Amino acid sequence: MSDRAQRLVLLLVAAILLVSVIGHGTSFKQMPVAFVRSSSEEVLVRVSGDLREGIYKIPDGTTVAAAIKMAVPKVPFSSADMPVLSRKISAGEIILAEWNDSKHMEIKVVRMGARERMLLGLPLLPNEMTRQEWEELPSIGPALARAIMNHRQCNGDFQGVADLVRVPGIGHGTLGVIMEKF
């Protein structure tokens, strides 16, 4: 190998070492973090409206503001503008965001309906379901859905899905058919 080639190789090795030493430990604190790795559970939420619509898997405990920034990193807003932004999002919720004008965004958080929750494999919430949502379940027709709603109104919320056997017309067989949805 010629003297010139040896110098070139040494220069390249020195440059690589220099870059690795200088680059090691570089802080990126100036840049906002779009996604944070978390060891906690992840939840499914839907973002809808004037954002990048879709179903997103986010770490449990993520705020509405952070979830929106994950969907659209450059949305200009602050948590002080809207209290809903500091609220923690839960599995099966929908973030609806629409621009009122070029400067103001209206943000609402609502729950997914039973059909969408079932499609995504999310557990249903028996104390939040409507009569129509009960009817969408296998083995539950209009009469049984009305009985469930009446029982809940008269006796209060169900403590768990097993409490449904107290509703006239629901036995262990019907409960077994719908149990996997909860």
Lowest mean pLDDT segment, chosen from 24-38, 68-82, 105-119 = 24-38
Q: Which of 171, 159, 164 is CA-nearest to residue 149?
A: 164
> Are 120 and 44 a contacting pair, CB within 8 Å?
yes
Question: Which CATH entry fits the domain spanning 122-181: 1.10.10.10, 1.10.150.320, 1.25.40.10, 2.60.40.1120?
Answer: 1.10.150.320
Lowest mean pLDDT segment, chosen from 8-12, 27-31, 96-100, 172-176 = 27-31
Tell me what the mean pLDDT of segment 16-25 comes to. Answer: 62
Tokens 């149990």 locate to 179
Hey, where are the domains in the chain? 42-111, 122-181
Distance CA 173, CA 165 (A): 10
Tell me what the mean pLDDT of segment 97-110 comes to. Answer: 82
* pLDDT > 70: percent of the chain: 80
Could you count the other beta carbons within 10 Å of the beta carbon of residue 95? Answer: 23
> Are 113 and 93 a contacting pair, CB within 8 Å?
no
pLDDT, tens digit (0-9, with 9 covering 90-100), for 46-89: 998 888 889 999 999 999 988 888 877 666 665 556 788 889 99
Q: Does position 24 have pLDDT exceeding 80, yes or no?
A: no
Q: What is the pTM of this model?
A: 0.65
Q: Does position 31 have pLDDT exceeding 50, yes or no?
A: no
User: What pLDDT, on the 0 to 100 scale, is given for residue 32?
Assistant: 43
Give every CB contact of residue 128 below 8 A, 6+ residues apart in sequence.
111
